[in-house]
């Protein structure tokens, strides 16, 4: 009567041919040959997809390698994932390690692990408490970074950019100050050639050029040039070589 959509799972070692599935689960070592379409794809062992991968929910808690594009509503990486094509998702949560050889486009990105992207990252909201390395432009409406490792991007651009250490708030509580004291030893910093935005707040950041409307430079920054159009405040513990009001 009707072609039933099958679920498939690999627990030992196996090869699956591409196609449409309901659920695909790889907990051993598995390879999917060809394009795969599924509601749910879970890789808790070692998995590889040789074709395009289009799913609703993609979870990688083991290692996952995707040779072509990945399209998903939700992608969760708590293990190690590598995508050699484009990544187009609605929500990306990375608490493990994620390497993208091209670009990532997602409405929401949350990084608490490590994200490596050779191209650009485009999002509406980008939040990072881990580390990242973006070879191109990191662009989002709201960018919030609590550097938890080395955070590097060629360019960072958006409406609101907020980079600060853990526990760094205007009125810090006890826990906040404790976290802050700790984070100065294990926290990371942010490095970019260019940072552009309308409202910018920076801490622990090194940048060649920062441009924006309202810029506030918190502690521990090293900036080559700041160009601002409305306001600029610079913390005493930061170094700014040159500033221009434009």
CB of 27 to other proteins, least distance (A): 21
Q: What angle do CA 112, 222, 124 make, to 5 degrees?
A: 40
Binding mask 51-90 for other proteins (x = CB under 8 A): ---xxx------------x-x----------------x--
In sequence order, what E strands does 164-218 have?
189-202, 205-217
Residue with Cβ nearer other proteins (114 or 195): 195
Judged by CB under 8 A, the residue of 81, 212, 215, 223 near other proteins is: 212
Under the criterion CB under 8 A, does residue 108 sit at the interface with other proteins? no
CB of 239 to other proteins, least distance (A): 16
Residue 228 CA to residue 213 CA, distance in Å, equals: 5
Q: Which stretch binds other proteins (CB under 8 A): 76-84, 93-101, 175-183, 207-215?
A: 207-215
Kindly state the DSSP code that residue 95 receives in the 8-state scheme. Answer: S
Residue 7 CA to residue 40 CA, distance in Å, equals: 9
Number of residues that bind other proteins (CB under 8 A): 40
Instruction: Restricting to residues 155-194, name those near other proteins by CB under 8 A.
Output: 157-160, 193-194
Alpha helices, H only, the chain:
174-186
Residue with Cβ nearer other proteins (58 or 60): 58
Instruction: Restricting to residues 123-162, name those near other proteins by CB under 8 A.
Output: 139-141, 157-160
Under the criterion CB under 8 A, does residue 225 sit at the interface with other proteins? yes
Residue with Cβ nearer other proteins (176 or 227): 227
Residue with Cβ nearer other proteins (225 or 234): 225
Burial 26-54 (b: 16+ CB within 10 A, else e): bbbbbbbeebbbbeebbbbbbbbbbbbbb
C-beta neighbour count of 7 within 10 angstroms = 13
Say if CB 204 and CB 191 are below 8 A apart: no
CB of 124 to other proteins, least distance (A): 8
CB of 40 to other proteins, least distance (A): 9
Max intra-chain CA distance, the chain: 75
First CA to last CA across the chain, in angstroms? 70
Residue 165 CA to residue 176 CA, distance in Å, equals: 10
Binding-site ranges for other proteins (CB under 8 A): 1-5, 20, 22, 37-39, 54-56, 69, 71, 88, 105, 122, 139-141, 157-160, 193-194, 196-198, 208-209, 211-213, 224-225, 227, 229, 246
């Amino acid at each position: 009567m009707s072609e039933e959509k099958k679920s498939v799972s690999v627990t030992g070692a196996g090869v699956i041919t591409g196609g449409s599935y309901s659920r695909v689960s790889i907990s051993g070592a598995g390879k999917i040959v060809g394009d795969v379409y599924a509601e749910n794809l879970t890789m808790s062992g070692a998995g590889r997809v040789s074709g395009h991968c289009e799913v609703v929910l993609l979870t990688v808690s083991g290692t996952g390698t995707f040779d072509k594009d990945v399209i998903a509503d939700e992608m969760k990486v708590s293990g190690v994932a590598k995508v050699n094509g484009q990544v187009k998702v609605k929500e990306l949560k990375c608490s493990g390690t994620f390497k993208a050889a091209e670009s990532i486009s997602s409405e929401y990105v949350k990084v608490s692990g490590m994200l490596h992207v050779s191209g650009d990252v485009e999002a509406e909201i980008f939040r990072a408490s881990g580390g990242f390395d973006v070879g191109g432009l990191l662009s989002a409406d709201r960018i919030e970074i609590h550097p938890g490792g080395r955070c590097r991007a060629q360019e960072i651009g958006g409406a609101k950019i907020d980079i600060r250490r853990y526990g760094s708030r205007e009125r810090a509580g006890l826990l906040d100050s404790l976290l802050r004291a700790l984070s100065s030893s294990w926290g990371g910093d942010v490095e970019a050639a260019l940072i552009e935005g309308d409202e910018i707040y920076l801490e622990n950041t090194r940048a060649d050029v920062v441009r924006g409307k309202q810029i506030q430079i918190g502690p521990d920054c090293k900036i080559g040039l700041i160009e601002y159009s409305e306001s600029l405040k610079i913390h005493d513990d930061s170094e700014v070589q040159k500033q221009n009001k434009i």
